[in-house]
């Protein structure tokens, strides 16, 4: 199973404690997590199947979840 990277973006009013818990939960599943200091978000690298379970659990603090990818401009 291959790993995939996702950007988890939180709503502006999300308490740091919520993000801390999500970060700990991801790490407990063996994920690599990078916390973004510029905005409320996490970059999470883990097997796609594991992430699908997490993203299916609708959390009111999460604004969007996006697969990380290359950005192209013209």
Give the range of the structural domain holding residue 56, as residue numbers without chain letter: 3-67
Tell whether 26 is covered by a domain: yes
In a domain, 10, yes or no: yes
Which CATH number covers residue 43? Answer: 3.30.70.80
Entry pTM: 0.80
Residue 73 inside a domain? The answer is no
Helix (H, G, I), strand (E, B) or coil at 69: coil
Q: Is 19 helix (H, G, I), strand (E, B) or coil?
A: helix
74 domain-assigned = no
- Report pLDDT for 13: 94
Give the number of residues written for the chain: 74
What 3-state DSSP class applies to 60?
Answer: coil
Q: Are 62 and 16 in contact (CB under 8 A)?
A: no
Report the number of distinct structural domains present in the chain.
1
In a domain, 46, yes or no: yes
In a domain, 22, yes or no: yes
pLDDT digits (tens, 9 = 90+) for 5-57: 999 999 999 999 999 999 998 899 889 999 987 889 999 998 877 776 666 56
């Amino acid at each position: 199973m291959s790993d995939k990277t996702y950007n988890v973006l939180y709503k502006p009013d999300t308490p740091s404690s919520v993000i801390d818990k999500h970060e700990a939960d991801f790490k407990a599943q063996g994920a690599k997590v990078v916390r973004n200091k510029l905005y409320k978000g996490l970059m999470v690298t883990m097997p796609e199947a594991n992430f699908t379970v997490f993203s299916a659990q609708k959390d009111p603090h999460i604004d969007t979840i996006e697969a990380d990818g290359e950005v192209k401009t013209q």
